[in-house]
């Protein structure tokens, strides 16, 4: 390997390797699958290495997450296009007055699995915004740069994601297993009253 290639590889690794966990985390939440997330990070890593000569910034994390995001969205468009559409639901998008935020509800009512299930049910662009903000700690501006959307769109997506997450977390958890169908009528004696 020529010296110039070794320097490029070393510089790339120094810029990107510290952020592979964040890249995997974003890919995992966007694809909802561990194996697919690993594939997306590997693909993004290769794309990043090929285009590293054009990287002149100082924010390797944002740069890598942008590549991961774009790689995931390309893959989702090809393999799971139905997950990219977000239906408008008036009940979900209406203004809510003086209610607890998702974090308060989480602390009171939800366990880790319930939260994960609720997050995975969110539309991909809402999941992306929440993961980048709450799990990766990116600012609104950084999320806008990674996502390629205006800051106002990021704020809107986060608000809607939090509203949906709150609604899903506040729903009672369903017990696993088959549902039993109840036929006929139930009288008070059968209920022990």
Q: What is the 3-state secondary structure (H, E, C) of 74-140?
A: HHHHHHCHHHHCCCCCHHHHCCCCCCCCHHHHHHHHCCHHHHHHHHHHCCHHHHHHHHHHHHCCCCH
What pLDDT score was predicted for residue 173? 65
The tens digit of pLDDT for each residue in 112-140 reads 777 788 888 999 999 999 999 998 999 99
How do residues 63-85 score in pLDDT, each as one tens digit?
Answer: 999 999 999 999 999 887 665 55
Q: What is the pLDDT of residue 99?
A: 64
- Residue 179's pLDDT is 43
Residue 61's pLDDT is 92
Structure tokens belonging to residue 126: 């809402």
Q: What is the pLDDT of residue 85?
A: 53
pTM of whole model > 0.95?
no
Q: How far apart are CA 22 and CA 28, in angstroms?
A: 10
Residue spans of the chain under pLDDT 50: 88, 90, 92-93, 96-97, 110, 177-193
């Amino acid at each position: 390997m020529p010296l110039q290639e070794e320097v490029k590889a070393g510089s790339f690794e120094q810029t990107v390797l510290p952020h592979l966990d964040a890249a995997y985390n974003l890919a995992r939440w966007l694809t909802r699958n561990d194996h697919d997330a690993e594939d997306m990070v590997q693909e993004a890593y290769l794309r990043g290495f090929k285009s590293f000569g054009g990287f002149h910034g100082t924010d390797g994390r944002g740069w890598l997450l942008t590549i991961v995001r774009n790689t995931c969205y390309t893959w989702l468009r090809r393999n799971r296009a139905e997950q990219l559409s977000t239906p408008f639901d008036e009940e979900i998008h209406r203004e809510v007055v003086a209610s607890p935020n998702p974090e308060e509800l989480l602390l009171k009512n939800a366990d880790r699995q319930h939260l994960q299930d609720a997050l995975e049910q969110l539309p991909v662009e809402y999941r992306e915004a929440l993961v980048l903000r709450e799990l990766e700690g990116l600012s609104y501006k950084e999320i806008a740069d990674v996502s390629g959307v205006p800051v106002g769109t990021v704020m809107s997506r986060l608000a809607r994601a939090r509203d949906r997450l709150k609604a899903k977390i506040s729903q009672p958890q369903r017990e696993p297993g088959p549902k039993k169908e109840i036929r006929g009528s139930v009288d008070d004696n059968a209920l022990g009253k």
